[in-house]
Amino acid sequence: MKVLREIFSWVIPIAIGLLLALLLKNYVLSPVKVDGPSMQPNLENNQRVWIFNQAKVKHLSVIVFDAHGEDPSAKPGTDYVKRVIGLPGDTVSYKNGTIYVNNKKIKQNFISESERTSGTTDGSGHSSWNLKTLSKRFKWGNGSVTVPKGKYFVLGDHRSVSNDSRYWGFVDKDKIAGVVKVPVWSSTKTKRANVNSLGY
């Protein structure tokens, strides 16, 4: 009996600790690693960040989502990191390097002018494509597109290499894992603020 009490005295705390860690990971926050350059200059390839699973998704929030079923080229288990531009019901348009949401100009101070307007390939490597011609192709630029209910319009910060809503459309709310936050020991103060502090 004494032996059993001793065993339970250390087994139960370990079990409770593991359960709390599992709940924390699934419902509060999770560590993730950025894969690829699509969020440069604010997030780098292989950079480790946190996602807050229950955080409210806002304009300019950086999110992680399951890309399988959203992007036709994404395999099962593929997560993307992108910035939310349009929320459900928003009207998004693009003119001359400027993005408008509900007819209001979006301040994109988190990237440079050249990063906002640099050439974008069409997926087959044709460098003559740019954001303006892409917007015509996908019918959201010179006109506009309305984000459907339960969906989000997302872009990568590194527009010339990002595979995002310009190509395959919207992100379903149910696919979103959480909102990205960069820890204080990672990156520069400005880059952290460009990820952690821009949601509105």
Which residues are marked as active site? 38, 82
CB 61 within 8 A of CB 86: no
Name the one residue in this structure whose structure tokens are 């348009």.
93
Give the H or E element holding residue 33: strand 29-33
Pair type for strands 79-86 and 151-155? antiparallel
Helix (H, G, I), strand (E, B) or coil at 31: strand
Task: Report the candidate in 179, 85, 67, 69 with the shortest Cα–Cα distance to residue 135.
Answer: 85
In whole angstroms, what is the distance from residue 100 CA to residue 105 CA? 4
Name the one residue in this structure whose structure tokens are 């909102």.
179
Token pair in block for residue 104: 């209001």
CB 171 within 8 A of CB 152: yes
Q: What are phi and psi of 151, to 5 degrees?
A: -125, 165
